[in-house]
């Protein structure tokens, strides 16, 4: 470890969860106002208009990414532009006087002129600098870091943790604050990196700060490419990628809201075409535009290791899941329904049981802890139900989360308890609120029944939470809502329904601690970030407890 010196469309749940230096190597490039760049910007071609990135760090390597705009007409999703040679370099210093690896590849319209280089032969736990070239054009400089050696007795590892960044709902200042930190080993992005909605679809146009490109809901490969490109013109997002390696998984909005293996809530076959074609286009664009290694199955579930301290198991909870059950029909308990798919669940169980790491971290895009709701005032029940995808009458289950697939959850938690697997920590996004939970074997009898794991949920970077949907000041309604949720869920130790921000997870042999940071105003580019709360789980306890200060 380095030295420590969204009128919301019905059932389009982007907040599905409850009551409801500067940068070491900031990109020094011209940033387009949108991916459909102006003629003036396009005239800069060839140019690296979308920044650069690294991801999926290994002890001996890292994945590098960029996108070249070789000619003015070679706009993202256009399918235009000549094949272009792109070189890359990795060095031990930012001045590139000690280059340790270099190579070249060809950027083509077939991959939307995106470029990836899976660099190997590097030293473990080492900071490196990287850049790209195309002819006489040189990219900005990026900073990355390899993972510790597989068998290293690593003293600590620290991750920035984010999810749910809606371009229209606010500015990405959370990314800027994480980019400015020099003490992070990697950024963990837990899904909803982009959103698929049309401009003004979520949130309503009058509540947004900027517009999506393309303006229509994205359906085709060209659409998804342009949407990814739009996001990657954001200067704070570029700064994040230039400063730290990113480890990412997808959730639903990278395809469509409430996606499952055969469809999505936000997909209408009669008017929007074949879902399989749409999903394939979305996944292809994702792998083109993200610094992520695809597994052999073309999915994002995979495993990374950080010495003997932590194994990070990353899940894909959209590609293999059964369709969400309607609430109240008993289908949530059907053993033939799955959120993971058989192969992935077996892979996860085997990886947890076989891990010799002190901590077993699980990146899951949706919350695994059960959530029931007690009595709520009528004015709170409807907006909370909207966020959670529940009927307005209220029920105890969010069927898009693990609550809608209880047999998979039962099997996984039984595996943890029966095999005596300790120190499993679920890291979660999706619901636009921050939570610190014990994960009970039986929620109804907790705390008399044991906790099998713990869970830290981070709030959204910008996507609407309860206050945003109600258009009220923070704290106006959350006090009542939070109290009702906690009263019905004793395993929930803390939740914040008001804030936007990010988390910083610090892992040592003794404990895993999540520090929660909140933004002053997501609609202001210059928003500040302030520490709000910290919770930790001690080695061997399977319980979370509050800590009075963040890790320094």
Q: What is the mean pLDDT of each run of 10 residues along the chain (552 residues)?
A: 37 32 31 39 76 98 98 96 97 98 98 98 98 97 98 97 98 98 98 98 95 98 98 98 98 98 96 97 98 87 98 98 80 91 97 98 97 66 60 59 94 98 98 96 90 98 92 83 86 95 98 98 97 98 97 90
Cβ atoms of 515 and 160 within 8 Å: the answer is no
Q: Is the peptide bond before 447 cis (omega within 30 degrees of 0)?
A: yes
Q: Tell me the CATH number at 423.
A: 3.60.21.70
Residue 69 lies in a domain: yes
Whole-number Å distance between alpha carbons of 13 and 469: 11
Radius of gyration of the chain (CA): 22
Task: Name residues whose C-beta falls within 8 Å of residue 22's C-beta, 6 or more positions apart in sequence.
Answer: 180
Residue 201 lies in a domain: yes
Residue 196 lies in a domain: yes
Residue 357 lies in a domain: yes
What's the confidence (pLDDT) of residue 298? 86
Of the candidates 242, 237, 233, which has an alpha carbon nearest to the alpha carbon of residue 33? 233
Number of domains in the chain: 1
What's the confidence (pLDDT) of residue 376? 60
Query: What count of Cα atoms within 13 Å lies in the side-chain half-sphere of residue 400?
Result: 29
Q: What letter would DSSP give residue 197?
A: P
Cα 495 off chain centre by: 19
Give the CA distances from residue 208 to residues 178, 204, 226, 233, 246, in Å, rounded to whole numbers and listed in that order.
23, 7, 19, 18, 27
- Strands 492-496 and 434-440 turn out to be antiparallel
For the beta carbon of residue 353, count every other beta carbon within 10 angstroms.
14
Residue 12 lies in a domain: no
Residue 522 lies in a domain: yes
Residue 493 corresponds to which tokens in the numbers above? Answer: 């130790």
Residue 541 lies in a domain: yes
Query: Beta partners for 88?
Result: 103, 132
Give the CA distances from residue 534 to residues 5, 356, 426, 516, in Å, rounded to whole numbers and listed in that order.
20, 27, 16, 6
Cβ atoms of 150 and 207 within 8 Å: the answer is no
Task: Name residues whose C-beta falls within 8 Å of residue 500's C-beta, 6 or more positions apart in sequence.
Answer: 170, 174, 432, 459, 460, 461, 462, 465, 518, 519, 522
Residue 289 lies in a domain: yes
What's the confidence (pLDDT) of residue 23? 31
Domain residue limits at 424: 39-545
Query: What count of Cα atoms within 13 Å lies in the side-chain half-sphere of residue 180?
Result: 11
Residue 539 corresponds to which tokens in the numbers above? Answer: 């080695």
């Amino acid at each position: 470890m380095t030295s420590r010196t969204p009128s919301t469309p019905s059932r389009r749940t982007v907040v599905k969860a409850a009551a409801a230096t500067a940068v070491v190597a900031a990109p020094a490039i011209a940033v387009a106002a949108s991916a459909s760049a102006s003629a003036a910007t396009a005239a800069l071609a060839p140019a690296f208009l979308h920044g650069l990135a690294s991801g999926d760090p290994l002890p001996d390597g890292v994945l590098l990414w960029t996108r070249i705009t070789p000619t003015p007409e070679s706009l993202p999703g256009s399918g235009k532009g000549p094949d272009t040679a792109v070189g890359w370099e990795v060095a031990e210093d930012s001045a590139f006087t000690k280059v340790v690896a270099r190579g070249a590849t060809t950027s083509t319209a077939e991959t939307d002129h995106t470029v990836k280089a899976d660099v190997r032969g590097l030293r473990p736990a080492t900071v490196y600098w990287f850049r790209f070239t195309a002819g006489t054009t040189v990219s900005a400089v990026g900073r990355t870091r390899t993972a510790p050696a597989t068998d290293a007795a690593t003293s600590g590892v620290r991750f920035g943790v984010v999810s749910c960044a809606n371009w229209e709902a606010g500015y990405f200042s959370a990314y800027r604050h994480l980019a400015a930190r020099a003490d992070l080993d990697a950024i963990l992005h837990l899904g909803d990196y982009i959103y698929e909605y049309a401009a003004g679809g979520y949130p309503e146009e009058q509540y947004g700060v900027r517009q999506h490109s393309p303006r229509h809901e994205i359906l085709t490969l060209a659409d998804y490419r342009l949407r990814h490109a739009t996001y990657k013109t954001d200067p704070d997002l570029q700064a994040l990628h230039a400063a730290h390696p990113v480890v990412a998984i997808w959730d639903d909005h990278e395809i469509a809201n409430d996606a499952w293996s055969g469809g999505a809530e936000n997909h209408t076959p009669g008017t929007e075409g074949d879902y399989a074609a749409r999903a394939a286009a979305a996944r292809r664009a994702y792998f083109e535009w993200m610094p992520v290694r695809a597994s052999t199955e073309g999915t994002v579930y995979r495993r990374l290791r950080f010495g003997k301290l932590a194994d990070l198991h990353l899940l894909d909870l959209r590609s293999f899941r059964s369709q969400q059950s309607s609430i109240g029909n008993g289908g949530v308990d059907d053993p033939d329904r799955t959120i993971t798919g058989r192969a992935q669940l077996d892979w996860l169980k085997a990886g947890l049981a076989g891990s010799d790491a002190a901590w077993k971290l699980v990146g899951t895009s949706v919350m695994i802890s059960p959530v029931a709701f007690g009595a709520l005032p009528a004015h709170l029940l409807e907006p909370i139900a909207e966020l959670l995808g529940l009927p307005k009458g209220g029920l105890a289950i969010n069927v898009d989360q693990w609550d809608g697939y209880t047999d998979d959850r039962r099997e996984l938690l039984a595996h943890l308890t029966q095999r005596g697997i300790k120190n499993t920590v679920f890291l979660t996004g999706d619901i636009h609120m921050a939570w610190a939970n014990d994960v009970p074997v039986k929620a109804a009898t907790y705390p008399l029944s044991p906790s099998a794991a713990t869970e830290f949920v981070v709030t959204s970077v910008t996507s609407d939470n309860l206050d945003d949907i109600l258009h009220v000041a923070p704290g106006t309604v959350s006090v009542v809502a939070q109290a009702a949720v906690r009263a019905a869920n004793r395993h929930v130790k803390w939740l914040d329904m008001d804030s936007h921000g990010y988390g910083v997870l610090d892992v040592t042999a003794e404990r895993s601690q999540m520090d929660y940071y909140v933004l002053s105003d997501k609609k202001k580019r210059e928003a500040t970030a302030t520490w709000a709360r910290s919770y930790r789980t001690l080695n061997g306890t399977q319980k979370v407890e509050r800590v009075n200060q963040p890790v320094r």
